[in-house]
Amino acid sequence: MAEILLFHHALGLTAGLQSFAERLRANHHVVHCPDAYSGQTFKDLDDGLRFAQDIGHDALEEVANRAYRQHRDAAVVIGFSLGSSQAQQLAQHKRRIKACLLMGGAQAPESLGGDWRHTCHLQLHVADPDEWVDPGVVEGLMYRAPHGELFRYNSKGHMFIDPSSRDYDADAADQFEERVVDWLATIDADAGEAWARF
């Protein structure tokens, strides 16, 4: 069993993401979903991005830090697009975080004030191509995390995993979810010794 902090994308904590979290819970994981939008969701990405800009980067970062403080057994972070920055920030700076999954987003480690911790396993999922994800940043992050895994989903929209998004693709979403479930099972099975490899 993994205890997870899951950070939503720019559309908010949508029904699609909540359903995904519920399916992870059905697999015996503990999943916390910090809501930076206080319940508000959007259908249009531009509207969601404007709302996120109004909130501001510092407030989004504080949501992540507060969730980290509140859930002291959480050792895995998952971030979707906008939320990938929150997840990656914790993964780089908090030793308790042992694994990080980013979907539809990645930051250059130095832009978050440090480098990637080699003791933190990384899995990265991106549409290919994706206008919201810089290929150079992806390559740079994977170089810094040599044990990380990168999955590309050809000809899919940015947020293909979420039924609440116009980008949704059921087959690709199923493939993504299978990979996440397998990854979490590996974390669970390896428990105390898995991270010694990284």
pTM of the predicted model over 0.85: yes
CATH number of 3-191: 3.40.50.1820
Helices 57-70 and 45-55 pack at an angle, to 10 degrees, of: 80
Taking the C-alpha atoms of residue 139 and residue 162, their distance in angstroms, rounded to an integer, is: 25
Q: What is the pLDDT of residues 161-194, one digit of tens each?
A: 999 999 999 999 999 999 999 999 887 656 544 4
pLDDT in tens, 33-69: 999 999 999 999 999 999 999 999 999 999 999 999 9
Q: Which residues pair with 9 in a beta bridge?
A: 12
> What pLDDT digit, counting tens, does each position of 87-117 carry?
999 999 999 999 999 999 999 999 999 899 9
Look at residue 146 in the predicted model and tell me its pLDDT.
84
Q: Where are the domains of the chain?
A: 3-191
138-158 pLDDT, tens digit per residue, is 999 999 998 899 999 999 999
pLDDT at 186: 86
Find out whether 104 and 133 touch, Cβ atoms under 8 Å.
Answer: yes
Q: Could you please report the per-residue DSSP string of 72-121?
A: TT--EEEEETHHHHHHHHHHHH-TT--EEEEES----GGGGTS---TTSE
